[in-house]
Structure 1
């Protein structure tokens, strides 16, 4: 496949950025948002298809089976984020976006066939769900690609918009599922799957016609090896488990949760499931913008505190049997996951930009240092995106086990509450309190002059 390659790319140069950089970067961004949006929709497809697969439609799937299916989709999507993040730097954003969009036709067509056959064995449904998981890999490749196009001062906005637009795919497929349920009924799930065939073809065409391959956006195995030895890579990954893992886990399982916890019908559950992912996606760019303004560490810390309160409120609503309060609380929780997603991802390029600055001050070649910083940043984005997505697996497995053992979601909600408090403590200790003590005053809003911190901690304060 022939491809357009950009060999000179200097987004930190104001003159270059104004002349041609901004226009090119934004063209690639908008197409990337659309392609990632469709990828997320396919990844989320089974969270809606399972609402159709009821005894009335001839399917005999237990709550255990359904939570296992959405857990498998999450798992495959999480595991593929690493190779997808690497692939886009090898083959280029344009080339990989075209290929990854066309590859998603396979799970869409396969699902179209299987959902019309109630006698399909569970292993075949699991296989199809696993193949649908490849849509989750699109997030990592898209984010790594867009990270290379924008200057540091605009990455919070650009990455937040790219991720938020992609995350909206969860709400899109759920809204489409609601529309199909309302018009065609529970017996016609294939209407939903077939809608994505032209959408995927359009995404591939737009990428082919309008995107570029960025030669300077290269990540090699050495960058990944360096990333996995960096403590910030794993700290950020832990935080992203709490933010994005919550978003995708609750997004996949919320409809099943409403059915099992409150006995709602597929139509009733679908009427509410889209609301949370929609809000979480819309607020993700705001999380990035707030991180640009106030610092990612501070925004992330406040998000985890509020998420812990949200988990406690959801537990209380569940105990009281209040469906309305439960839905409202989860809507707020989704908003908080969106804010936390944006702020956490903003922390990554900020940390490595600060290291680049320190290297330049120490005498390193500026162009080489910035290139290396972008490569390492891209590797960490891919790794943390993969690890963070595993949180979605954990959430649905927690719900599955809670229902198996007690028939109620309460034990899972207690576990989520404890994990959010752990993430709050880590954020505070590593990126708020400790950098302030070492001179990273910007992390906490302090303005007084202080001694120069170590490079890694300066990255934390800039985040």
Structure 2
């Protein structure tokens, strides 16, 4: 009887091993049923090709989202040259309001892919980018446009910031656990690069053939064809997954975890610094070194402000790689220490009046912030795994993984508020003291405080003792 049971068990196991993978069913509207990226046979036969196609168009749409999100960082600085009469406070509001709106939209955007489908929502979210671009083109052509209208149009650019959350959520469903990190890293990097591209392209386009003036409406019009391409591409080539489900229970559980809020604070310091300084960098250059605000190249003007966002974007993947090797908490500590030291150096060298020293200091600051972005984001699943009773090398049980996935989305939303806080802090400093030194000193204190927090909780604290973070 035992022999029979053993033989039956062996036959069952063999049948399971040789059973065909679950077949994919395609329905109208490019809906896919039966998607299971963890099924290696399905993944190798058709899954990888489908996932890569969706990833490519997702990256393009998210890239345009970041472009639109950062348009006002360069347009606001150019408004005086177009005949607008705005004070410093108003310019800072135009720079910072897209980050405030974008960070807020990231929360609902995280849940819209399961509700409408990844393909469908990519079409809609890309289409929404037409509102801020066309509205910008219409309102900046008339110097008599009231500030309230300018502010409302700048707020519409926040649609671009929300796209990050839905794009990341969508790609999460397409890839197996073993390849999620690489896919999401590509998706994030492709988006972040959009900030740099916007700050490079817009000054060139609005000054080509404009002589001493600027043709600001082109800052909006030039992106309309690309947005239409993204919409058509998503409609024609992307897919909806019927098994993509919103995890409201995981989000509620993550919100009850105190470490979500601590990690979100760290992410405000890293990603918030990246997006905040990226948006305000053109303004800082224009105020401190107006002769370098636009460098004439042929018949166009080039702003070197784009280098900041570029360096920050390219350094982010190295933060994740260093975190895998040395631990996310230690790399995050290093990032905050470097950010504090570089900011002190910027304060010390400002009186020298050297643009190149100023630029070099800020590029180091962007590099440190980018590394911190990658390492802090890497800490999230590790902390939740340890808190769930697992270890740093394993994601934990399904419940723990769900909380960690939800926490990543929430933390990315909260961290983006730094894009609003940094420009506003600089604006307050300019109003109160006539300069930015006070704000930079506050940033130094904040970075040191976050360094100590990381050390106390994640390097020496009880969480760290449960497993290397």
Cα deviation for residue 138 of structure 1 reads: 0.5
Cα deviation for residue 311 of structure 1 reads: 1.2
Question: Cα RMSD (Å) of the superposition?
Answer: 2.5
Pick closer, same or farther for the CA change 1:2–1:9 going to 2, 3 Å. closer
1:250 to 270, 273, 277: 277
| 1:91 matched to 2:91 | no
Pick closer, same or farther for the CA change 1:144–1:374 going to 2, 3 Å. farther
Aligned equivalent of 2:17 = none
Pick closer, same or farther for the CA change 1:427–1:267 going to 2, 3 Å. same
Within 2, Cα distance between the matches of 1:191 and 1:289? 39
Indicate conservation of the 8 Å contact 2:457/2:463, yes or no. no
Within 2, Cα distance between the matches of 1:7 and 1:199? 31
Aligned equivalent of 1:74 = 99
Higher helix share: 1
2:351 to 305, 319, 322: 319
| 1:157 matched to 2:157 | no
2:329 to 275, 281, 297: 297
Pick closer, same or farther for the CA change 1:309–1:217 going to 2, 3 Å. farther
Indicate conservation of the 8 Å contact 1:152/1:353, yes or no. no
Aligned equivalent of 2:24 = none
Cα deviation for residue 52 of structure 1 reads: 2.1
Cα deviation for residue 324 of structure 1 reads: 1.2
Classify the secondary structure of the residue corresponding to 1:272.
coil
Within 1, Cα distance between the matches of 2:331 and 2:48? 27
1:391 to 418, 434, 458: 418
| 1:148 matched to 2:173 | yes
Aligned equivalent of 1:240 = 267
- The gaps in structure 1 that reach 5 residues or longer are 360-365, 444-460
Moved more, 19-28 or 269-278: 19-28
Aligned equivalent of 1:408 = 435
Cα deviation for residue 7 of structure 1 reads: 4.0
| 1:35 matched to 2:61 | yes
* TM-score, normalised via structure 1 length: 0.86
Within 2, Cα distance between the matches of 1:150 and 1:308? 37
Indicate conservation of the 8 Å contact 1:247/1:280, yes or no. yes
- The gaps in structure 2 that reach 5 residues or longer are 1-26, 296-300
Aligned equivalent of 1:24 = 50
Indicate the structure (1 or 2) with the bigger Cα radius of gyration: 2
Within 1, Cα distance between the matches of 2:451 and 2:189? 23
1:45 to 67, 71, 74: 71
Number of residues of Structure 1 aligned to a counterpart in Structure 2: 432
Deviations 1:317-362 (A, max 9, x none): 2233222111111111111222221222223344456677859xxx
Aligned equivalent of 1:106 = 131
Cα deviation for residue 118 of structure 1 reads: 0.3
